[in-house]
Structure 1
């Protein structure tokens, strides 16, 4: 039960009704025995700065940031930690006691860790990133910094080109107008296709998955059922990392930043899946 001494966290985005972060983070906070609560906060782009300052003013410890605000928040905070600076994307905000808004990003490290867990080593091969938004920025930057050769493919080629230019200091990152043939290596879907957008759709044809080792799909559904991409990748024999696993991994890293406690990853993943 929330009381006058409860410390508050949340997730801001538009929309957030589908988000499984509140159930996941609240399960973790309960497991840690902390008098904290995590709430969903729908926020329109026009209100973003005023909401951030308002949440700080009423005593929130921090918030996660989801679509479509990750890049905008990177421009609004007072300080960017190195991972967020490199990607130009923020998914975690810390409200410092001195009044500063500090932006961090746990998306990229979570994706890199998930890929490494499937391959059982730090991966330094080819990666195809689908999309050019905030999550794609974080994923491409983190994987390039790990030594991967990253190709970015987006619906609008100019958006992929802009992102590749922005990340030139992170490593080997290029934009591609067409899907590579063969695709190979690792595919990271950072688009909402298969979940919030076109629920029955695929961000790339199933026929292009036959030579892929690992598929990571950041999209996830409110009912936790697999996206078409995850289903097709599993059928093609790929190792798969779904959006709920990525959500749990990035959420665990954010929780550790806010609380200083070791996050119970398995508890969080079970809660995200509704187990």
Structure 2
């Protein structure tokens, strides 16, 4: 029998929990699929992709390959088109690209009871911030403040906000002016903001969703004190569920057979 192969690519990649998540799901689904990890950098992505044979069903992509995967895809879903980032490739007659990070954020927040917001602060203006902005728009946000060390990096997010019908205001991390219902932190893992910055952000930040989850609790989660905090592990879990729907059905919105059991098995390996 010919193997069905999948993998997660990125650089670095040794820390990835995706192989364990996918293996747990495939076991429940009764799928004899192989899912591995491979260290691939941006410069080597095109050559590595071109070397795959017909046994490959798809790929999960993490940093720094989401923009490379976007360019490689011949079709893209709406979230990928909006963000310019693809974290899932499905192979077939075409190379279909998807962004499941947006849905992962929305699903993780819904699981924590956050289903609608009006004002959102996004910390950071890097690659994940675009997915955070689209997720905020889908939750009903009307105003989004992007707080970053270099606010000028948020220029693309202002343009994206216009497309989404959301007012986006870039500001420095120490110059926040918004009383937010929700703060979405997209800062790199291990970043610790000084108390004179994290304190005011927490005081006016509403619920914190921190995309970083290693180590946990993050320095920012600790600074949030008694406020509600949602770990990025929820995003990791739910974006993977949507990926597996794609690999199984070709559609991130079509539920898996016995999906509650699948999700429970995946959660057990986090």
TM-score, normalized by length of structure 2? 0.86
Gaps of 5+ in 1: none
In 1: Cα distance, 2:107 partner to 2:15 partner: 25
TM-score, normalized by length of structure 1? 0.84
| 1:211–1:151 Cα change, 3 Å | closer
- Give the alignment partner of residue 230 of structure 2, picking from 223, 241, 258: 241
Gaps of 5+ in 2: 250-255
| 1:108–1:16 Cα change, 3 Å | same
Match in the other structure for 2:266? 268
In 2: Cα distance, 1:173 partner to 1:34 partner: 45
On the 8 A contact 1:137/1:163 being kept in 2, the answer is yes
Match in the other structure for 1:94? 90
Tell whether 2:37 aligns with 1:40: yes
Aligned residues: CA RMSD: 2.1
Q: For residues 4-63 of structure 1, what are the alpha-carbon distances to aligned partners after superposition, in whole Å with 9 as ceiling and x for unaligned?
A: 5332111111111111111111111112221012111111111112222323x2421111
Match in the other structure for 1:216? 209
Where in structure 2 are the equivalents of 1:178-217 lying within 5 Å?
Answer: 178-179=172-173, 180-194=176-190, 198=191, 201-202=192-193, 205-217=198-210
Matched residue count: 256
In 1: Cα distance, 2:267 partner to 2:183 partner: 22
Shift of residue 207, structure 1, vs aligned partner: 4.1
Runs of 4+ in 1 over 3 A off after TM superposition: none
Moved more, 130-139 or 244-253: 130-139
Shift of residue 176, structure 1, vs aligned partner: 1.5
In 1: Cα distance, 2:242 partner to 2:198 partner: 32
- Give the alignment partner of residue 240 of structure 2, picking from 244, 251, 254: 251
Q: For residues 172-200 of structure 1, what are the alpha-carbon distances to aligned partners after superposition, in whole Å with 9 as ceiling and x for unaligned?
A: 04141224235421111112142xxx4xx
